């Protein structure tokens, strides 16, 4: 499904099937890395489904889709600039497609927004970052599996360091007035997300 959506998206901007194939292979290669336990193609599929569910609320669907495919394309648990690198790679690839510059800039901003998940003045950005966080409000079992996969991605860190860093992330979300910035996602995921985050934080302590 992901490949079909990506190639269909590119048809609006290039007739070069070789380029389109190369771009997909690059994305697939990144998201299927051996140490990708959560930030994988499965994450993209789940994110795409969430966005499809609220597609009628999104003004610029193509830009949000490009943000989806590239937002975690660079992911290294040892680095702090994954979002910046992902955004830069996205803009570079969009340039090859002659994608409008102002839309490329929006894509760049949307990818960077996944770093802090703060309220944006752009509704599309809020919908995108909310969808990116939707796993936080999943069922208890799904959340436990998500948390376990995140731990695997950070396997390089010993427990005492991981627990300290993870607790900081969980507290960051719990201290937000609203984790989900849009009414659509807030009503569907906010309460369960707070229950899941609080339960994981308690286990870490």
pLDDT tens digits, residue range 5-42?
Answer: 999 999 999 999 999 999 999 999 999 999 999 999 99
Summarised one tens digit per residue, pLDDT across range 67-124 is 999 999 999 999 999 999 999 999 999 999 999 999 999 999 999 999 999 999 999 9
Q: What is the mean pLDDT of residues 170-176?
A: 97
Q: pLDDT value at position 158?
A: 97
Q: pLDDT value at position 127?
A: 98
Measured in whole angstroms, the distance separating CA 194 from the mean position of its chain's CA atoms is 19
Band (pLDDT 50/70/90 cuts) for residue 169 is very high
Q: pLDDT value at position 141?
A: 98
Q: pLDDT value at position 185?
A: 98
Contacts of 134 (CB under 8 A, 6+ apart): 46, 47, 50, 185, 188, 189
- d(CA 137, CA 197) in angstroms, rounded, equals 9
Band (pLDDT 50/70/90 cuts) for residue 181 is very high
Average of per-residue pLDDT values in the chain: 98
User: 3-class DSSP state for residue 142?
Assistant: helix
Q: pLDDT value at position 114?
A: 98
């Amino acid at each position: 499904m992901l490949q079909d959506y990506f190639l269909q998206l590119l048809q609006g901007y290039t007739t070069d099937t070789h380029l389109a194939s190369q771009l997909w292979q690059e994305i697939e290669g990144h998201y299927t890395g051996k140490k990708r336990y959560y930030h994988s193609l499965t994450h993209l599929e789940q994110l795409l489904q969430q966005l499809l569910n609220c597609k009628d609320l999104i003004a610029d669907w193509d830009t949000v889709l490009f943000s989806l495919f590239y937002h975690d394309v660079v992911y290294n648990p040892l680095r702090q600039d994954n979002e910046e690198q992902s955004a830069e790679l996205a803009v570079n690839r969009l340039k090859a497609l002659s994608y409008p510059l102002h839309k490329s800039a929006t894509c760049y901003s949307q990818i960077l927004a996944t770093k802090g998940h703060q309220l944006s003045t752009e509704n599309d950005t809020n919908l995108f970052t909310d969808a990116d966080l939707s796993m936080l409000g999943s069922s208890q079992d799904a959340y436990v599996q998500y948390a376990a996969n995140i731990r695997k991605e950070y396997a390089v860190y010993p427990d005492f360091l991981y627990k300290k860093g993870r607790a900081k992330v969980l507290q960051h979300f719990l201290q937000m007035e609203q984790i989900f910035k849009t009414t659509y996602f807030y009503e569907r995921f906010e309460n369960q997300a707070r229950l899941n985050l609080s339960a994981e934080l308690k286990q870490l302590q």
